[in-house]
């Protein structure tokens, strides 16, 4: 029962959904707070001391505020990095460790030594070039 649950949880779809929920809910408010409290003042200093919340440019009388866009970009990068390092890497390591003991399935085809086409492993003659081939050792 628990083995089936473990396989269900470690499937890619469930992990992807969990990552989406984490991006949308948990890290967003923390990263937005970090951006507003610490990174905005740094950007304000780089921008020449002007107030960062009024950073904008004007084209034909229309104002384009870029402060929210910069905040969103910084927040996205921080959230994506946190999710990658705290969720994706550990889950990938766990899945790799679980699949470590599994051996690949036995091959069902082999290459013809003459024409290099794929033929069934037990074939004695190539169906493409009709050359005789040895048993399983080709």
Q: From residue 13, give the alpha-carbon distance in Å to each of 34, 47, 50, 68, 100.
A: 30, 43, 46, 32, 21
Shared-domain flag, residues 87 and 20: yes
pTM over 0.75: no
Shared-domain flag, residues 17 and 81: yes
Shared-domain flag, residues 67 and 118: no
Shared-domain flag, residues 124 and 88: no
Shared-domain flag, residues 53 and 119: no
Residue 125's domain comprises 105-138
- pLDDT 10s digits, 2-31: 777 777 767 667 777 777 777 677 667 777
Farthest CA pair distance, the chain: 82
Shared-domain flag, residues 93 and 109: no
Q: What is the pLDDT of residue 52?
A: 55
Shared-domain flag, residues 21 and 87: yes
Shared-domain flag, residues 54 and 71: yes
- pLDDT 10s digits, 102-135: 777 788 888 888 888 898 888 888 888 888 887 6
Percent of residues, the chain, with pLDDT higher than 90: 0
Shared-domain flag, residues 15 and 81: yes
Contacts of 104 (CB under 8 A, 6+ apart): none
- pLDDT 10s digits, 27-75: 677 777 777 777 777 777 776 666 555 677 888 888 887 777 777 787 7
Contacts of 27 (CB under 8 A, 6+ apart): 78, 79, 82, 83
Number of domains into which the chain is organized: 2
What phi and psi values does residue 77 have, to the nearest 5 degrees?
-65, -45
Q: What is the pLDDT of residue 136?
A: 56
Shared-domain flag, residues 31 and 81: yes
**Residue 129, Cβ density class (10 Å: 0-12 exposed, 13-18 middle, ≥19 buried):** middle
Shared-domain flag, residues 115 and 84: no
Q: What is the pLDDT of residue 62?
A: 84
């Amino acid at each position: 029962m628990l083995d089936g649950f473990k396989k269900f949880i470690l499937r890619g779809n469930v992990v992807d959904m969990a990552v989406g929920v984490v991006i949308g809910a948990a890290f967003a408010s923390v990263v937005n707070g970090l951006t507003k409290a610490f990174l905005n003042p740094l950007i304000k200093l780089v921008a020449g001391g002007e107030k960062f919340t009024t950073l904008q440019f004007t084209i034909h009388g229309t104002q384009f505020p870029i402060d929210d866009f910069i905040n969103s970009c910084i927040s996205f990068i921080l959230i994506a990095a946190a999710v990658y390092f705290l969720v994706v890497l550990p889950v990938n390591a766990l899945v790799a460790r679980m699949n470590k003991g599994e051996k690949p399935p036995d091959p069902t085809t082999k290459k013809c030594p003459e024409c290099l086409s794929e033929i069934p492993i037990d074939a004695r003659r190539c169906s493409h070039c009709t050359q005789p081939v040895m048993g399983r050792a080709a």
